[in-house]
Chain A
């Protein structure tokens, strides 16, 4: 059944360096779609261009050419307040290094996006509590980030990313700084919110284990999409094996 994609990426190029000087082409034409409620992974070795791609999708960087649309809205040329509003309303972002404000409590960190939108304070508290319950961090809300473990921090970051009910959630190696247990918990949580609330998720990682939680994986090599894997009805363990095999041949 053809649905309208939540995100479309068309012929995306990114070249670093000014014309005339030594140039480096990080992205050489990327095309793909993300359907509503899809859980997509992007894999690639260091230097393959996956972080560059993510930065462009998340409006943190501008492509040299090509277009990205989220919710049918072209986003590559947004500026100033439009850009800020777009970031605040349409996308959620989880970073490898959490990017929590260490001066604020977990509660304040999660509530910040709502405060920025000047949401009435009556509505903020229930919203924070709801998302915190979902992610199982209710008891840490009054703690400061440095009083939390890596896994707890990342869940706070996830709560902050989700509180605005974004169209799509981006994750940049979200398990990169976590131990395996915390990583597994976080990924389970991603699967849960993906299935229960149909939040579209786009995960960038080089870790096959994290990738095995996705429904579809795009492999990037030297600035191009080299291969695409679909999980379909495979179990997660089988899919993991398939990813490992693919990586084995893909990186040769």
Chain B
């Protein structure tokens, strides 16, 4: 009996490969997500915002729902593959109990094996992705490790649990069905039916629940955890209902146009309507994943862009040097500074004396911020008189040495300054056109400066270079989470769609062969194929973008800049990835179906 089962396995190893790789991908990504979500020390360390852990719980629940559908889907694929074989076993006289056992064992075996391989694969992916991100974005990560045992446990428990349920479901489904029905259980077409009343109700409920979801995401500060729960339920439900109602209607409507009568268009529409139920489910999932991935990448990039902006708002200068050597001066000159000044000063234990005349000749620039954030600011010139009055003159002190950073600044007339007996020192401040370009040089300069003695060490508070380091440290964790999750969700999306498309490929292959026999050109076949898959990509893409645009409201709480700043950049990056993925899917599909 088990030999029989195994022979069926060998016979259809390609289908099993699709199923298995799909499950491995899914559990790998789930692990990737959990490696972040369950790592409380990492989350706490890297976010001063308690909201973050809410966001992760939100993600966790959502991903569990997606996994649920995914496994249900994989399971029906497994079931459809085995139905014929089991029907055959029953015909040759196998006992139902024995067959039940077989189904149970097979489902669990495939499931558990896939999960274990998936977790291992997930850990490898986590190492790769985190390494890549740290390198590419210059992030600093603490407390993050690619192997995190609780995450592996959570993944294992969830998946094994789901497969136990799936096995039970298969057991009931198969043993309750008569043998003959199992033998001839080919896909039955779903006749696309229009129920205007039911569909209108679906559209209304769908739109209403999506609006509630959007609203609660925008009011997350008031609603707290409840808001996330509400958004979760309503948006998932709304997306599904909308697709369910609109998709059927769309296909039926399109068939009435003349356009549908040309070439293979009617075939493509029939293909879509034939699998309408599977498609609405997968489209809702893809739309959700699309929104999650794009949202995560947008937020990550938002934090990334925020850091230099915040640094720029803290000072008008990149770096300062005290008593620079000739070599240091040459280095600074080689950077073509756009703004540069050298101020002489003398110090006591409490006061730094500057020569006021120098400030009148070469005014000191301050970054004058407005509003509650540090992000809208103007650079203003200050002579000695203005320095005395300006709130922002502390920015000069920040550029001083460690010893002088907290001392009061006094601007003396030239004569009075000359009379002071303390030794005189020089403070060189400069700014370049683009401070992020010169990080390597700045690092060299500060290293050399610090080596020259404790009294010459610059305080790590002033200047855009130091500010950047500090903010980057603060935001690295958040950036990392954004990008990491973005990539994970994108991969999940890819594996979902891939799975959907590949699992139907065998049946499609027959259909395309028939078309070929009837005299369809290869060009027409390819076009039909591209159109069908394009629909599967474009529809969830549109819905996903809309979800993201509203979903970014959530991050108003966390982000200092508006979450919509520079939004075109992540959207473009994402569009390119998505398009690339579309071409990949098409080329794989063509290889299966048309050869």
- Per the bound structure, the CA–CA distance linking A120 and B188 in Å amounts to 31
- Per the bound structure, the CA–CA distance linking A103 and B521 in Å amounts to 20
- Per the bound structure, the CA–CA distance linking A86 and B517 in Å amounts to 11
| Residue pair B274, A116 in contact (C-beta under 8 Å) | no
| Residue pair B264, A144 in contact (C-beta under 8 Å) | no
Given contacts A103-B189, A116-B524, A121-B258, contact A87 B263 (CB under 8 A): no
- Per the bound structure, the CA–CA distance linking A166 and B523 in Å amounts to 23
Of A41-49, A107-115, A223-231, which stretch is located at the interface?
Answer: A107-115
| Residue pair A101, B514 in contact (C-beta under 8 Å) | yes
Q: Does B267 contact A (CB under 8 A)?
A: yes
| Residue pair A103, B274 in contact (C-beta under 8 Å) | yes
B525 nearest CB across to chain A (Å): 9
Given contacts A103-B271, A144-B189, A146-B189, contact A89 B519 (CB under 8 A): yes
| Residue pair B270, A108 in contact (C-beta under 8 Å) | yes
Q: Does B562 contact A (CB under 8 A)?
A: no
| Residue pair B519, A104 in contact (C-beta under 8 Å) | no
- Per the bound structure, the CA–CA distance linking A84 and B518 in Å amounts to 8
Q: Does A81 contact B (CB under 8 A)?
A: yes
Q: Does A235 contact B (CB under 8 A)?
A: no
| Residue pair B522, A144 in contact (C-beta under 8 Å) | no
| Residue pair B189, A118 in contact (C-beta under 8 Å) | no
Q: What are the residues of chain B within 8 A of A84 when measuring CB–CB? A: 516, 519-522, 524
Q: What are the residues of chain A within 8 A of B517 when measuring CB–CB? A: 60, 87, 93, 99
A139 nearest CB across to chain B (Å): 17
Q: Does A189 contact B (CB under 8 A)?
A: no
Q: Does B426 contact A (CB under 8 A)?
A: no
Contact with B along A15-47 (1 / 0, CB 8 A): 000000000000000000000000000000000
Q: Does A124 contact B (CB under 8 A)?
A: yes
- Per the bound structure, the CA–CA distance linking A87 and B514 in Å amounts to 12
Interface residues on B, range: 20 to 34
Q: For chain B, residues 507 to 549, give those with C-beta under 8 angstroms from any C-beta of chain A.
A: 511, 514-524
| Residue pair B522, A124 in contact (C-beta under 8 Å) | no
- Per the bound structure, the CA–CA distance linking A115 and B264 in Å amounts to 7
Smallest CB-CB separation from B258: which chain A residue? A121
Q: What are the residues of chain B within 8 A of A185 when measuring CB–CB? A: none
- Per the bound structure, the CA–CA distance linking A112 and B524 in Å amounts to 12
Q: For chain A, residues 128 to 167, give those with C-beta under 8 angstroms from any C-beta of chain B.
A: 144, 146, 160
- Per the bound structure, the CA–CA distance linking A113 and B521 in Å amounts to 12
Q: What are the residues of chain B within 8 A of A83 when measuring CB–CB? A: 519
Contact of A87 among B191, B264, B518, B524 (CB under 8 A): B518
| Residue pair B518, A93 in contact (C-beta under 8 Å) | yes
Q: What are the residues of chain A within 8 A of B518 when measuring CB–CB? A: 87-88, 93, 112-113, 116, 160
Q: What are the residues of chain A within 8 A of B522 when measuring CB–CB? A: 80-81, 84
Smallest CB-CB separation from B268: which chain A residue? A103
Q: What are the residues of chain B within 8 A of A87 when measuring CB–CB? A: 517-519
B189 nearest CB across to chain A (Å): 5
- Per the bound structure, the CA–CA distance linking A146 and B520 in Å amounts to 24
- Per the bound structure, the CA–CA distance linking A80 and B524 in Å amounts to 11
A216 nearest CB across to chain B (Å): 26
- Per the bound structure, the CA–CA distance linking A238 and B518 in Å amounts to 37
Given contacts A103-B271, A121-B261, A146-B188, contact A113 B519 (CB under 8 A): yes
| Residue pair B520, A116 in contact (C-beta under 8 Å) | yes
Q: What are the residues of chain A within 8 A of B270 when measuring CB–CB? A: 101, 103-104, 108
Q: For chain B, residues 23 to 47, give those with C-beta under 8 angstroms from any C-beta of chain A.
A: none
Q: Which of A60, A112, A121, A160 has the most CB of B within 10 A?
A: A112
Q: Does A102 contact B (CB under 8 A)?
A: yes
Q: What are the residues of chain B within 8 A of A11 when measuring CB–CB? A: none
B463 nearest CB across to chain A (Å): 67
Given contacts A108-B266, A112-B266, A144-B191, contact A99 B521 (CB under 8 A): no
Which 9 residue pairs spanning A and B have beta carbons closest together?
Answer: A88-B519, A87-B519, A121-B261, A103-B274, A84-B521, A103-B270, A104-B270, A121-B258, A81-B521
Task: Apart from A102-B274, A160-B518, list 17 A-B contacts with CB within 8 A.
Answer: A60-B517, A80-B522, A81-B521, A81-B522, A83-B519, A84-B516, A84-B521, A85-B519, A88-B518, A88-B520, A99-B517, A100-B514, A102-B186, A103-B189, A108-B266, A113-B518, A116-B519
- Supply 21 A–B pairs (Cβ within 8 Å), ascending by A: A81-B522, A81-B523, A84-B524, A86-B519, A87-B517, A93-B517, A99-B514, A100-B514, A101-B515, A102-B186, A102-B274, A103-B271, A103-B274, A108-B270, A112-B266, A113-B519, A115-B264, A116-B263, A116-B520, A121-B261, A144-B191
